A and B are shown apart, each in its own frame.
Chain A
Amino acid sequence: SQQGEEDPQALSIQEGENATMNCSYKTSINNLQWYRQNSGRGLVHLILIRSNEREKHSGRLRVTLDTSKKSSSLLITASRAADTASYFCATDNQAGTALIFGKGTTLSVSS
């Protein structure tokens, strides 16, 4: 079963615009991660935010975490065509040893 649910399922924007994706989850977590997957490829880790953190930045990425609402958001600023990919949030499982992924948000950035 999948813990996280991303929203929206698909997002289309122009280059230079910001893209925001949301993730909701069901049970308490130790940390939440975001991954990117280019079409037909493996996943690449983007950022990890711990349950005691509220916001984290990495380059053009900004992640927020609201444990009271069991939700997280990923903001990509000044998007580029190369950002076109699927983005997944992942939370640790009950044992804290593996990841449970959401269904993902497909982002299309056109030039």
Chain B
Amino acid sequence: EAEVAQSPRYKITEKSQAVAFWCDPISGHATLYWYRQILGQGPELLVQFQDESVVDDSQLPKDRFSAERLKGVDSTLKIQPAELGDSAMYLCASSLRSSGGEQFFGPGTRLTVL
């Protein structure tokens, strides 16, 4: 069964360091999402891609976060520099269409910033 892949699963870093997360969506899914989930909360959208184009990055802290999906397949989310408040689960999801339908989530990357 096709799955969304994410790596690494866990990342511990010190504040002011740079971190990067990778996501490989389900083959054929044109829409890719990055969410941040703080412990005890629901996921919140950071950025949405349609193929290689950014559809929505209104909630992405652009002074330190960046995301790309160069060939419209896999994607990288980067934080530089990391801050203590960035400790969270970072979830990647994909869907066939960008119409608010079912999304398929990866296992997530648990980031701890010390």
Contacts and interface: CB of A to CB of B under 8 A. Distances in A.
Interface of A: 2, 4, 30-31, 33, 35, 40-45, 48, 88, 90, 92-93, 95-104
Contacts of B56: 95, 97-98
Interface of B: 4, 6, 31, 33, 40-45, 48, 55-56, 89, 91, 93, 98-108, 110
A12 B62 CA distance: 41
B35 to A, nearest CB: 8
A4 B102 CA distance: 17
B108 A88 contact: no
A43 B101 contact: no
Contacts, number: 69
A31 B91 CA distance: 22
Contacts of A33: 102
A53 to B, nearest CB: 14
Contacts of A44: 105
B105 A99 contact: no
B91 A97 contact: no
Contact of A30 (B42, B100, B106, B107): B100
Q: Identify the 6 closest CB pairs spanning chains A and B, nearest first.
A: A101-B42, A92-B100, A42-B105, A43-B105, A97-B98, A45-B102
Contacts of A93: 45, 100
A99 B37 CA distance: 13
Contacts of A95: 56
A96 B100 contact: yes
A96 B91 CA distance: 20
Contacts of B48: 97-98
Contacts of B99: 96-97
26 contacts: A2-B42, A2-B44, A30-B100, A33-B102, A41-B108, A42-B4, A42-B105, A42-B108, A43-B91, A43-B93, A43-B103, A43-B105, A45-B104, A90-B42, A93-B100, A97-B31, A97-B99, A98-B56, A98-B98, A99-B45, A99-B100, A101-B42, A101-B43, A103-B40, A103-B42, A104-B42
A101 B44 contact: yes
